[in-house]
Amino acid sequence: MVILRELSRSFREGRRIHHVLARASARVRRGETVAIIGRSGSGKSTLLNLIAGLDRPDSGSVEIDGCDVVRLHEPQLTRFRRRHMGFVHQFFNLVPTLDAGENVRLALELNGVRGREARERTGAMLARVGLADRAGSAIDTLSGGEQQRVAVARALVHEPALILADEPTGNLDGESAARVLTLLLALVRDRGVTLLVVTHDEALAAAADRVLVLHEGRLHERSPSLS
Ligand SMILES: Nc1ncnc2c1ncn2[C@@H]1O[C@H](COP(=O)(O)OP(=O)(O)OP(=O)(O)O)[C@@H](O)[C@H]1O
Ligand SMILES: [Mg+2]
């Protein structure tokens, strides 16, 4: 489903070159939940951005369902991303001028689903995350946990094959984090969606099918017995 081959990405810092990713490789099967851990600054967000096609590697390839995203050009890349991927960010990244329902519906509209079908799918998805009665709520009237559940609904409503999540519970208190987490894991398992999730949360890492550790620019498998 997702194949990362020898991904390298470096950044120039004055006269020095900082090699953040150095031939990172990994393979993720369809429907797998994979946690990516690593110390701060190890390149986890950089890696996710490359997989999403939001950034380009210096070398290497990112294959998603047989498609090499590194070789796609705009606007095919944007279309591919909208159709096949969903994102959950640490700080939710909802559109503040749209209400909860409109935020979720946007992911459908960007894929050409409109009108009654869009409204029905949005309603069903909001109900699934426990926010059936909050569709008309302004984003800033929702709690952090509620906003993140809207973000989860938005990431899944257009039925992408791959969800990328960058510390999706990093900004929530323990109880809200646990709720969002349980929900996200249940939803991806129900739907056979592949989930790549960057996390510092040991509970989330333990609940994943596999844990990959990003260290010195490479991805290493963490054996289940150590977790
Ligand atoms: N656009 C950029 N320009 C220069 N350096 C960058 C850029 N993006 C990332 N870096 C550097 O790459 C390294 C990895 O950053 P990244 O954000 O991927 O780390 P991370 O593992 O996600 O860290 P955290 O756990 O703190 O979120 C950092 O040293 C960062 O300064
Ligand atoms: Mg990060």
**42-62 pLDDT tens trace:** 999 999 999 999 999 999 999
pLDDT at 224: 60
pLDDT at residue 225 greater than cutoff 80: no
| pLDDT for the residue 179 | 86
Confidence class for position 67, pLDDT limits 50, 70, 90 = very high
Ligand 2 ion: Cβ-proximal residues, 5 Å cutoff: 44-45
**Ligand 1 test: best mutation among 7, 13, 20, 171, most atoms within 8 Å of CB?**
20
Helix (H) or strand (E) holding 197, with range, is strand 194-198
Distance between Cα 42 and ligand 2 center (Å): 8
Write down the pLDDT at residue 217. 98
Quote the pLDDT of residue 226: 53
For 115-124, what is each residue's pLDDT tens digit?
Answer: 999 999 999 9
Q: Does domain 2-226 have CATH number 1.10.3720.10?
A: no
95 has pLDDT over 70: yes
Residue 202's pLDDT band (boundaries 50, 70, 90)? confident
Q: Which residue type does 208 have?
A: A
Q: What is the chain's percent helix, strand, coil content, to nearest 5?
A: 40, 30, 30
46 Cα: distance to centroid of ligand 1 (angstroms): 6
Q: Which residues line ligand 1 (CB under 6 A)?
A: 11, 20, 38, 40-46
Phi and psi torsions of 143, nearest 5° = -70, 170
β-bridge partners, 33? 195
d(CA 41, CA 46): 9
Q: Taking every pair of C-alpha atoms in the chain, what is the biggest distance, in angstroms?
A: 56
pLDDT in tens, 103-142: 999 999 999 999 999 999 999 999 999 999 999 999 999 9
Average predicted confidence (pLDDT) for the chain: 94
* pLDDT, tens digit (0-9, with 9 covering 90-100), for 153-197: 999 999 999 999 999 998 889 888 888 889 999 999 999 999 999
